[in-house]
Amino acid sequence: MKLNTLLERIEKNANDPIHNLDIDGISTNSSEVRPNDLFVAIKGYRVDGHDFIQKAIEAGAQIIIGEKDLPKLSVPYIKVENSRRALAEIACEFYGNPSRNKKMIGITGTNGKTTTSYMLKHILESAGKSCSLFGTVKNVVNGQSLSSTNTTPDALELNKQLALSEDEYIIMEVSSHGLSQYRVHGVEFDFCLFTNLDQDHLDYHRDMEEYFSVKAGLFDQMKPDGKAVINHYNSWGQKLAEQLKAKNCTIHVMGDQSHYDLRIDQLKSGNSTIIFDHNANLNLKINILGKHNILNAAMAFLTASKMGLSTEEILGALELFPGVPGRFEMFQHPKGATVVVDYAHTADAFNHCLQTAKEEGAKRIFHIFGFRGNRDVTKRGGMVNVSKEISDVHILTFDDLNDVTYEEMEEALRILNEGGYIIPDRTLAIKQAVEHAQPGDWICITGKGAEEYQQKFELPTSSDIETVHFLFKQMEM
């Protein structure tokens, strides 16, 4: 592809001779550069791509794009204001703006993105539609599962996979990091969903207003005939709906007013009555517990209905929805207790998870959770308080340490949970609860879901789910 085509959105000096160069590929990793590639230098959290420009040139890159002032290079260098934004715009052009030819569904919010995306995928596939999925658990393109390192892939990988996808629908979880880092910049959406907003990522965003503003930015990327689906039961959703109304966007609202598109008349775990299109009383059933999952199902229902699917086929599909790995995933303890592995990692998500156990008749609730190193420390106190209030026994343990030392995290846990249970080894914390649980008790293990551990623990397991299975097997021997 000619360079001048790639640079249409970022470089206006079309008379420069370099614009006639043929570009065979794009890379942000110097070790992956091939001859005739364009290399985009991006300053990351740990590594600065500008430090690897010479290596990229030696590998065959014939043009460099970056955002720093640099001494003259042996190949042309184009300085841009923001390398991530430039990468997104170049990637869209290189792969032919693939989002324009797909039915694109973007889902943002603090909690519920993964479950809602899986529900939508299940509904559409049950109706005979093919779907690609991009999210926290995994990516799926053309029926093939791919590993997922970020909730939202970087712009280059995303556009590459969109171009490769032969699926009719693309369902994508869109994180605030993905939005602020321009990973989805240039992608155009047919449907944008807002699930909710709760305190999270304030290590990255200045405050909740900024966090909300970044999330709301997704809705500026709707196609001209795009539709927004908003959870009005959340106060931030109410704020977003007002903003979108002022922009004359097409919005569909789930809330408690009779004139909304969908209202939940009786919110009950697993089985609720919804009022759709102002007068149709419908019974919404799902096989996974939790009022929050009814909200997720209602969002999926409303979205699918606006895609043209019938009420009957949507409700039928939701009733058979198998659940999501690590999202309120339940296991039966050999002694008759119930174990739940859930991704909950905010105070609000804790409340939903633990209240569900309580409403299901738990005699005692054991709660095991930790905090990720170098992440929002301001939310930790609220999480501990919710656990103390609802659970009978809460055990603080390690989550991903990231760059925080063992000693630093252990001290942080002791300050937060003075006098309470602290078992740093996550597998041993789970073991403690599993061995002490009695019939009718519930054990809620939150924070990791289906994710693998980043550090080694004493038991020979690599995830919470694997640890639960390992301990059950030992008990049955």
Alpha carbon 280 to its chain's center: 32
Burial of 194 (0-12, 13-18, 19+ CB in 10 A): buried
C-alpha to C-alpha distance for 316 and 318, rounded to whole angstroms:
6
SS3 (DSSP) at 465:
helix
C-alpha to C-alpha distance for 304 and 213, rounded to whole angstroms:
26
Kindly provide the b/e burial profile for residues 296-313, where b requires at least 16 CB atoms within 10 angstroms of the residue's own CB: bbbbbbbbbbebebeeee
Structure tokens at 472: 């059950």
Residue indicated by tokens 């290399």: 39
Residue indicated by tokens 């299109």: 277
Residue of 303, 288, 204 lying closest to 252 (CA atoms): 303
Beta strand ranges found along 292-411 (DSSP E): 329-332, 338-342, 365-369, 393-396
C-alpha to C-alpha distance for 474 and 174, rounded to whole angstroms:
40
Which runs of consecutive H residues, i.e. helices, occur in 189-310?
Answer: 208-216, 235-246, 291-306
Phi, psi of 257 (to 5 degrees): -95, 145
pLDDT of residue 206: 65
Residue 322 gets which letter from DSSP?
A: -
Phi, psi of 260 (to 5 degrees): -75, 160
C-alpha to C-alpha distance for 451 and 114, rounded to whole angstroms:
13
pLDDT of residue 403: 87
Contacts of 125 (CB under 8 A, 6+ apart): 131
Contacts of 111 (CB under 8 A, 6+ apart): 195, 196, 198, 292, 344, 346, 348, 349, 352
Query: Do the Cβ atoms of 130 and 169 come closer than 8 Å?
Result: yes
User: pLDDT tens digits, the chain, 477 residues: what are they?
Assistant: 878 888 877 765 545 667 778 899 999 999 999 999 999 999 987 899 999 999 999 999 999 999 999 989 999 999 999 999 999 999 999 999 999 999 999 999 989 999 999 999 999 999 999 999 999 888 999 999 987 777 788 999 999 999 999 999 999 999 988 999 999 999 999 999 999 998 665 556 568 889 899 999 999 999 999 999 999 999 999 999 999 999 999 999 999 887 889 999 878 887 788 888 766 788 999 999 999 999 999 999 999 999 999 999 999 999 999 999 999 999 999 999 999 999 999 999 999 999 999 999 999 999 999 999 988 888 899 999 999 999 999 999 999 999 899 999 999 999 999 878 999 999 999 999 999 999 999 999 999 999 999 999 999 999 999 999 999 999 986
Residue type, 272: S
Query: Do the Cβ atoms of 406 and 373 come closer than 8 Å?
Result: no
Burial of 425 (0-12, 13-18, 19+ CB in 10 A): middle
Residue indicated by tokens 């809620």: 444
Domains and CATH numbers, the chain: 3-90 (3.40.1390.10), 98-319 (3.40.1190.10), 329-476 (3.90.190.20)
Please, what's the largest Cα pairwise distance for the chain? 77
pLDDT of residue 177: 87
First-last CA distance in the chain: 63
C-alpha to C-alpha distance for 62 and 73, rounded to whole angstroms:
11
C-alpha to C-alpha distance for 447 and 398, rounded to whole angstroms:
10
Structure tokens at 179: 């939005």
Query: Do the Cβ atoms of 413 and 420 come closer than 8 Å?
Result: no
pLDDT of residue 3: 81
SS3 (DSSP) at 33:
coil
Separation in Å, CA 382 to CA 58, 417, 422: 52, 12, 17
Residue of 216, 271, 268 lying closest to 247 (CA atoms): 216
> DSSP for 41-109?
--B-SS-BGGGGHHHHHHTT--EEEESS--PPPSS-EEE-S-HHHHHHHHHHHHTT-GGGGSEEEEEES
Kindly provide the b/e burial profile for residues 212-237, where b requires at least 16 CB atoms within 10 angstroms of the residue's own CB: bbbbbbbbebbeeebbbbbbbbbebb
SS3 (DSSP) at 167:
coil
Residue of 170, 215, 166, 176 lying closest to 190 (CA atoms): 170
pLDDT of residue 199: 65
C-alpha to C-alpha distance for 408 and 269, rounded to whole angstroms:
39
C-alpha to C-alpha distance for 13 and 79, rounded to whole angstroms:
13
